[in-house]
Structure 1
Amino acid sequence: MKRFLLVGAALAALLAGPAQAQSVDKILNASYDVARELFAAENKAFAAAHPGVTVDQSHAGTSKQARSIVEGLQADVVTFNQVIDIDFLVKNGLVSDDWQKDFPNQASPFYSLPSFLVRAGNPKNIKDWSDLVRDDVQVIFPNPKTSGNARYTYLAATAYAKEAFKGDEAKVKEFVAKLFDNVPVFDTGGRAATTTFVERGIGDVLITFEAETRGIAREYGTDKVESVTPSVSLLAEFPVAIVDKVVDERGSRDLAKTYLDFLYTTEGQRIAAEYGNRVHDSAVAAEFKSQFPDVRLVTVEDVFGGWDKIQKEHFGPGGLLEQIYGKR
């Protein structure tokens, strides 16, 4: 009788194991604010290749998303637009500290850059960053305290000013402060800033990711808006990571990894390019080459010394961003 009970318990455990693994057929992707349409398309393609699987989405500024995950949002994966927000999850014990080694290109499947969107015909003749500090120009971009999109805008403008003023920090700070002075309203995220510019008709130029400018032009028409690519901009990598604490609790690690791997496949890369992102897959990049203007891109490492230094000198308490933005 005892032997029968032991065999029965072992058999029950054996049967329960696969059933439990198979029951994890849904994950949550916490992503940045302006990526709604992109991941709707990516998720549809992924689900078609993996019947019975569902990927739910959560969208907001990535700094806000990171805080929400620390506070309990059960996101299995993150697809963010800045490294420091994933590092915030690392510091809070949710993501492994070597997360950038888990996927190619330092865990960045595609990338973009801060670019401009102006009114049709470009009535203010806006061509480069220097035009954004003119007295007759109103600039729209979201709150850099909550939006990775806006932080890239701040960094790209700062990088331009560092070159233009040959490293004169006083002039750089004055340039960026003037840019902030020209912003009539700071929305919490990139999509809200788009609404302010396109639907509410506020501002002369919207600064957002190049991918977003193309999506807006496609949705609203080139008779209303047009894209302007500045002479220089900042490489904006879009890092992804598995939220280890969540997937280990839910048993969803395999599905989470399969999903993020999909973003690197030819199909995933083509979808990303169709939605205005620049991709690493050489064949897909060549296919879409004519749709992406040439632009000189600088990196956070070359200009600022890396994300750790940026966090300390620019985004941390008392940093340059707080000194500029805190006065507004």
Structure 2
Amino acid sequence: MNRRQFIATSSLAGLSAFSGCSGPDYDFELLNVSYDPTRELYRRMNRLFAEHYHTLTGKRVRVRQSHGGSGSQARSVIDGIPADVVTLAMWADVDNIRSKKLIANGWEERLPDRALPYHSTIVFVVRKGNPFGITDWKDLLQPNLKVITANPKTGGGAKLNLLGAWIAMRDAGKTPEQARDFITEMYRRVPVLDTGARGATVTFARKNIGDVHLTWENEAWLEKRELKDAVEIVYPKVSVRAEPHVALVDANADRKGTRLAAEEYLKFLYTPTAQELIAETFFRPGHPEVAKKNESRFPPIKLYRATDPAMELGDWTKIQTDFFSEGGIFDQIYQSGR
């Protein structure tokens, strides 16, 4: 895929259009509403699942996809998009759907590892030769450096970008006030806020805006693969542990009569076959044997959950309220930096 083709593909994908397994012969459909950087993963996963389900039941299923910023996607499900399952970037986004009685209480306990088939993190993508010499978060405040990140009000990865910076400062012994000062300065270097992670990728990789792109690990490797020697990946010493949870949307699946197939789809994500694909597309698999087999893909990095007691941020409900609600920390620092 050349640069022009990638631009077109990414731009179209950013519209949250449906995509997935194709073909006229299927007995029924499932809809997986996901976040921005999982297009490539689920495009291939859906084909594998369709083969698995046909072998298991003799029925043909088509899995369709919807992609966008994780927060926006959660709102679309609440507003009526008929998702059978959600595979969103943030626990808070899934639980927001639960709060509207579309997902059953206790959804985290219905699947292994608290409904977490893989995890990820936030890394940096820089221009060829790394002209600013970026090695860690502290290097993001250099004069004239421009940082590309999406809007944390709409994108899950963008929330993690902000929290990754905060966590790195706290791990370095900085006070909460100093961490706040750091992210304030960091966002003064952000020239544009896209609504989701893939939009930010297009801004950095296609529009050639910015000097460093804060992004999901798998998205960084996608940029590296498609743009080859034009970019480099930098792993900071410390970052946030990203945990994209998955869940059955009970109300929709029961109404559509797809519960059994949707449950099987989510279970399939934990199989060795699916876990190998997860690793191949640079998400960190939860299956211990698959993770060990693929550990060379993933450079060592110290990861903290945002809810780690050492960070003193509280649970996800508190983090969402404190940082990303109307008038929260992000609104305050972004407005002060304009």
Assess same fold via TM > 0.5. yes
Shift of 1:24: 6.3
2:227 paired residue number: 220
Distance 1:252 1:124 in 2: 52
1:319 aligned to which of 321, 325, 328: 328
Corresponding position: 1:76 with 2:103: no
Q: CA RMSD in A?
A: 1.3
Shift of 1:27: 0.5
Structure 2 SS opposite 1:235: strand
Q: CA offsets per residue over residues 90-135 of structure 1, 9 Å max, x none?
A: 1111111211001111101001001111112211111100011212
1:206 paired residue number: 213
2:21 paired residue number: none
Answer yes or no: is the 8 Å Cα contact 2:32–2:66 preserved in 1: yes
Answer yes or no: is the 8 Å Cα contact 1:115–1:208 preserved in 2: yes
Answer yes or no: is the 8 Å Cα contact 2:149–2:214 preserved in 1: yes
- Structural mapping, 1:265-284, within 5 Å: 265-284=271-290
Answer yes or no: is the 8 Å Cα contact 1:196–1:202 preserved in 2: yes
1:196 paired residue number: 203
1:32 aligned to which of 30, 35, 42: 35
Answer yes or no: is the 8 Å Cα contact 1:24–1:251 preserved in 2: no
Stretches of structure 1 lacking an aligned partner (at least 5 in a row): 1-22
2:246 aligned to which of 240, 243, 258: 240
Supply the AA of the counterpart residue of 2:158. A
Distance 2:193 2:326 in 1: 20
Supply the AA of the counterpart residue of 1:239. H
Stretches of structure 2 lacking an aligned partner (at least 5 in a row): 1-25, 55-59
Shift of 1:283: 1.3
Supply the AA of the counterpart residue of 2:296. S
1:121 aligned to which of 104, 110, 129: 129
Distance 2:232 2:114 in 1: 32
1:17 paired residue number: none
1:48 paired residue number: 51
Identity %: 41
Distance 2:248 2:221 in 1: 29
1:301 aligned to which of 287, 302, 307: 307
Corresponding position: 1:261 with 2:278: no
Supply the AA of the counterpart residue of 2:325. G
Supply the AA of the counterpart residue of 2:119. Y
Which TM-score applies when normalising by structure 1? 0.90
The worse-fitting range, judged by mean Cα deviation, of 47-56 and 234-243 is 47-56
Answer yes or no: is the 8 Å Cα contact 2:152–2:324 preserved in 1: no
Distance 1:317 1:220 in 2: 37
Supply the AA of the counterpart residue of 1:192. G
Distance 1:63 1:85 in 2: 6
Distance 1:300 1:24 in 2: 42
Q: CA offsets per residue over residues 11-52 of structure 1, 9 Å max, x none?
A: xxxxxxxxxxxx962100000011100100111111122231
Shift of 1:193: 0.6
Answer yes or no: is the 8 Å Cα contact 2:188–2:334 preserved in 1: no
1:91 aligned to which of 93, 99, 113: 99
Supply the AA of the counterpart residue of 2:42. F
Which TM-score applies when normalising by structure 2? 0.87
Q: What is the count of residue pairs matched by the alignment? A: 304
